[in-house]
Amino acid sequence: MSIPLQGKTILITGASSGIGAATARACVKQGMLCVVTARREDRLNKLADELGELCIPIAGDVTERGFNERLLEEAGDVYAVFVNAGHGLDQEMIDCSLDQFQGFRDLFELNVFAAVELASLASRIMVDRGRGHILMCASCLSKFATPQHGAYCASKSALEAVAKSMRMELKNSGVHVSSVHPIGTTTEFSDSSADRSGMLESEFARQVPSWSMQSPDKVANAVVRCLRHPKPEVWTSLPMRVASTIFSAFPRVAQIAIYRFS
């Protein structure tokens, strides 16, 4: 059975560009009201101008104390939340120390703590209403790791674990919980990760072959399909899904394969 989306409201974080903005466009095409948030107010307003009255921008930082509560209050009768805000970090784990740990902490504040807080707050409202859908943007890297990106991979693994736990806890509540696992996507992710790490070019961009990249629209369309037909995990690449399963079962195979691109 397909869930009708027309007239339902979705809240999307990290919507100023990339997957978040593409998902807002895809949801508006389905007649959904999109409440979008990110720190870059100018980008949000531009997206809202593009999408018209079905897009409501609320600029702010999801890691700021109290912002997620205010966000949900202003969003109103939210049916779905796409927890998408996040960033990367290019840093070898051997370089992590208490003096150099701030980038790691900042990444977890956004990718995990703020994401989990928003999902938790939204789920309470949805359980009371007996309906809703929470989608958390994890990554294919939640299943395996790559060099120089241990912090990012760890954050996405944590988010996937939270989604799995919430899905079991809310099984009989009418609230669906899904994790989204994009592969390399043509967004600002690599450039912003490099800039945050004090590098000219991200190691991630160098490691990922161009043929394995996808567009944000592909992820957005997969999210819309999941909203219509809820499922535990959203994958946009069957080969990567199969590979991640093999990597989990055979760690040495994963190490050999990943070394080829690192």
The secondary structure of 1-56 as a DSSP string is -PPP-TT-EEEEES-SSHHHHHHHHHHHHTT-EEEEEES-HHHHHHHHHHHGGGEE
pLDDT at 147 over 90: no
Burial 221-256 (b: 16+ CB within 10 A, else e): bbbbebbeebeebbbbbeebeebbeebeeeeeebee
pLDDT at 176 over 70: yes
Tell me what pLDDT residue 145 has.
79
The pLDDT score that the predictor gives to residue 197 is: 47
Residue 133 backbone dihedrals phi, psi, to 5 degrees: -150, 125
- Per the listing, tokens 């991640």 go with 244
Mapped onto helix, strand or coil, the DSSP state of residue 229 is: coil
Report the chain's terminal Cα–Cα distance, integer Å: 44
Q: Which residue has the higher pLDDT, 70 or 88?
A: 70
The structure tokens 């070019």 sit at: 201
> Looking at the predicted structure, is the pLDDT value of residue 143 above 80?
yes
Tokens, residue 71:
């966000």
pLDDT at 92 over 60: yes
Strand partners, 134: 81, 177
User: What is the amino acid identity at position 136?
Assistant: M
- Domains of the chain and any CATH numbers: 9-259 (3.40.50.720)
Query: How confident is the model over 118-134, as pLDDT tens digits?
Result: 999 999 999 999 999 99
Residue 193 structure tokens: 């990760």
- H-assigned helices in the chain: 18-29, 41-51, 67-75, 102-108, 115-129, 150-169, 189-196, 203-207, 216-228, 238-249, 251-259
Q: What are phi and psi of 125, to 5 degrees?
A: -65, -45
Grouping H, G, I as helix, E, B as strand and the rest as coil, residue 145 is coil
**Is the per-residue pLDDT at 256 higher than 50?**
yes
Percent of the chain at pLDDT exceeding 70: 84
Q: How far apart are CA 122 and CA 93, in angstroms?
A: 34
Category of 202 on φ-ψ map: left (φ > 0), alpha (ψ -120 to 50) or beta: beta
CA-nearest of 50, 72, 52, 77 to 60 is 72
- The reported pTM is 0.87
Asked if residue 1 lies in contact with residue 172, where contact means CB atoms within 8 angstroms, the answer is no
